[in-house]
A and B are shown apart, each in its own frame.
Chain A
Amino acid sequence: MCSRRLRPPLAAVLVVLAGAGCGGAQDSSAGSGGGGGEAESQLALVAYSTPEVVYEEIIPAFDRIRAGSGVGFKTSFGASGDQSRAVEAGLQADVVSFSIEPDMTRLVATGLVAPDWDRTPTKGVVTTSVVSFIVREGNPKQIRTWADLLRPGVEVLTPNPFSSGAAKWNLLAAYGQASRAGQDPKAGLDYVRELLTEHVRVQDKSGREALQNFISGNGDVLLSYEYEATTAQRKGQDVEYVVPDDTIRIEIDIATTRGAPPAARTFVDYVLSEAGQERFAGWGYRPVNERVLAAHRSKFPEPSGLFEIEDLGGWEKVNEELFDPEHGSIARIEEQAGVSTAR
């Protein structure tokens, strides 16, 4: 049935397919590691999406040191909550890293991570960051403080906290600064209500999508993590950021799972070592290693009003009172905001 007319186009298709099958020029995947031969041990790293660029540097560097040679890596990066749920559902993982603590405690509850995972010198934290304002070049609207966000006509972008767990940090910062680190909950909620109702119109489903939205011209200011801005800048995006005086300390955690090979612990130690922390600092993640942080102090000024999730009562309290999808205050604000805009 193969007519003459069929052969040349078919051949072209086959050539294209064959060409695509040939080896590649550059290596842009974090999945490589440990020479070309059989690795002595395999580590499965399951992490949330943004630090992929950092691990792309750390893993080859780990491979070069003696303790790390012969260790092969399987990496998986995705949204923090999705990755945590995937590990819970059976995704093999030896080292896990998430952007909010509940994603780690979920695994503790199912026995996949030991309960003493945060009993380490850094309390289980691998890097930190702060919630900051990403603004247009030159900051035309002069947005520097949280009060500036509530000025009339200012459009704020922030992802929806219910579709992006990691976006909760943004609203926690807004709530925390208005409530003076949790001491005046009513003031905190009033601020968040005004912010969400009057100034946030669009709620993207994730931080990166919100950043993309902002870059395409929507909004005057984007609430995001400091390292989102620095990573974007390093990747050639035109963004400027301001760290407000009052803001929350974002804590990124890391742990090895139960039953992980000893190489997992070695790897985590390397990530927490000066060499590993230097890599994080390069991309704008605040290191937890004191010496590295001090060396980059100019890049990471400490905000005068920095507070922590502990000041707000910890994640469990915050998730129940603020972010419960049915009874939480933020959920109720979302419902009420709908009344005014519903058709």
Chain B
Amino acid sequence: MSVPAAPLPAPSAGWSSRLPRGTLGLGVSTLWLSLIVLLPLAAVVARSGEGGLDAFWSAASSRQAVAALRFTLLVSLAVAAVNAVAGTLVAWVLVRDAFPGKRILNALIDLPFALPTIVAGLTLLALYGRNSPVGIDVSFTQTAVALALLFVTLPFVIRAVQPVLIELDREMEEAAVSLGAGPARVFTRIVLPNLLPAILAGGALAFARAVGEFGSVVLISGNIPFDTQVASVYIFKQIESDNPVGAAAVSVVLLALSLLVLVAIRALGRRGARTQRRAA
């Protein structure tokens, strides 16, 4: 095969080549996101401000709202953390291990998503509630909320880590093993840093989903105010009691707090990447 002599390709004609690389892509993405995401969210923010700052503040700082928000954020973080660890483990086993039925198991991972949340709630209630066949009754407790959230966020980290694991270059691992490193060391020093962005991406998604989850939690939690009531149920109550401004206000606060957590997770990821580059 003959190699052309030109060292670099001629830049394609047109204005897009004069802008920083990826601007067109960024522009298209922004337009897409604006239409589908930002506009509706802006409508929520606008609605929340309709009663003025006073109404916003009194709605967002009511005792029930605060309790619901705090519980939601804490339980979602916990669930994201658990699924981050467990999800990585499962992804590892699904990619690197081989056992009969693995393909079927892999196909079932997404079912927590595809099943309607009512069915998820009903099933969890039947299994881990009053009439539990395994004797575990966590119905109407905070544990039940965590359980429901673990169920619906199960696929996130697993599916985020799987493609990265598949594409992972094995040479470094094999080199480390040949130099005498044990499996734990190889994992933490070589594999994990490469998986970290995916784990964090999946974990962030899991957190965000857990924060907004409604249908699967509602049956098994009992929605006890100040106890097992999550923010989305509180918001729902505001809507049903003809208080849409209050509902929007609490939604905005929830969104803002979730945004903070997501920023923190990203920062964590960047720090992890920097340590990795320094170590390399």
Contacts and interface: CB of A to CB of B under 8 A. Distances in A.
A334 B225 contact: yes
A82 B240 CA distance: 8
Interface stretch (B60-68, B161-169, B183-191): B60-68
Contacts, number: 81
Interface in A125-177: 160, 162-165
A245 to B, nearest CB: 31
B67 A342 contact: yes
Nearest to B67: A342
A323 interface: yes
A302 interface: no
B130 A338 contact: no
Contacts of B238: 162, 325
B125 interface: yes
Interface stretch (B8-16, B75-83, B216-224): B216-224
Most chain A beta-carbon contacts within 10 A, residue among B125, B130, B131, B223? B223
B227 A163 contact: no
Contacts of A216: 125-126, 129-131
Contacts of A79: 240
B226 interface: yes
A338 B63 contact: yes
A104 B63 CA distance: 32
A205 B226 contact: no
A204 B63 CA distance: 20
B36 to A, nearest CB: 20
B157 to A, nearest CB: 28
B130 to A, nearest CB: 5
Contacts of B223: 160, 163, 202-205
B237 A341 contact: no
B227 A341 contact: yes
| Chain A interface extent, by class | 20 to 34
A184 interface: no
A338 B225 contact: yes
A325 B223 CA distance: 16
Contacts of B139: 218
B140 interface: yes
B241 A203 contact: no
Interface in A202-223: 202-205, 209, 212-213, 216-218
B72 to A, nearest CB: 15
A81 interface: yes
Contact of A163 (B62, B64, B125, B233): B233
Nearest to B129: A216
A339 B226 CA distance: 8
A201 B130 CA distance: 14
A335 B225 CA distance: 8
Nearest to B126: A216
B130 A203 contact: no
A57 interface: no
A163 B237 contact: yes
Contacts of A269: none
B23 interface: no
Nearest to A219: B130
B63 A335 contact: yes
Contacts of B226: 338-339, 341-343
Contacts of A165: 240-241
B241 A323 contact: yes
Contacts of A337: 225
A218 B137 CA distance: 12
A162 B222 contact: no
Nearest to B238: A325
A325 B246 contact: yes
A326 interface: yes
Contacts of B62: 326
B243 interface: yes
B113 interface: no
A202 B225 CA distance: 9
Contact of B241 (A162, A202, A342, A343): A162
B145 to A, nearest CB: 13
Interface string B134-166: 000001100000000000000000000000000
B243 to A, nearest CB: 5
Contact of B67 (A205, A326, A338): A338
Contact of B237 (A160, A201, A217, A342): A160
B236 interface: yes
A326 B240 CA distance: 13
B131 A217 contact: yes
B121 to A, nearest CB: 9
A209 B218 contact: yes
A268 B126 CA distance: 42
Interface string B46-68: 00000000000010001110010
B233 A217 contact: no
A163 B140 CA distance: 17
Interface in A79-131: 79, 81-82
Interface string A232-243: 000000000000
B117 to A, nearest CB: 12
B224 A203 contact: yes
Contacts of A160: 223, 237
5 contacts: A325-B241, A325-B246, A334-B225, A338-B226, A341-B224
7 shortest interchain CB distances as A-B pairs: A338-B226, A202-B222, A342-B226, A162-B237, A325-B241, A163-B237, A217-B130
Given A162-B240, A202-B224, 7 more contacts: A160-B223, A163-B236, A202-B140, A212-B219, A217-B130, A218-B129, A343-B226
